[in-house]
Each structure stands twice: as C-alpha cells, then as structure tokens.
Amino acid sequence: MTPGGELAGRRIALVDLLDRLLAGGVVLAGDLTLRIADVDLVRIDLHALISSVGERVPAPWEEANAP
C-alpha cells in the first residue's frame, strides 16, 4: 500500500472535496503571535466552524413563527 492510502493515486476535484468537508463540517483553530525581542506585540486566535446549512435549519435572523 502506498503512503496516503487509497486516495494517493486518485484525483479528486476541489468541488467534491469541499462538498465532503462541508457535509460533515470543519473546525479550524489556530494561534498567531507576532513577537520581537521576546515581547508579544500582536496575538490572533482563530476559532471557526464551517458547515453547510440545509433548508430544514432556520436562519438565526428569521423568527421561529414566521410563515
């Protein structure tokens, strides 16, 4: 078996990859710190959830009782 498993020899379209990721959801997390001479100048924390939304899930800005 080759490194990377079964998908190593297959080509996957970017659209198919995004469809698979969004169907299950993706969580991104990261930290970035800009430091000079051991002094933290800028710190950025990133936490994001990316997921697809179906028609059965109401939008948060719509009222629950709207027709």
| In the chain, domain spans | 12-50
pLDDT value of residue 17: 79
Which one, of 32, 34, 7, 8, lies nearest residue 20 by Cα?
7
Residue 19 has pLDDT above 70, yes or no: yes
Which one, of 57, 47, 51, lies nearest residue 21 by Cα?
51
Rounded Cα distance between 2 and 37, Å, is 45
For the entire predicted model, the pTM comes to: 0.40
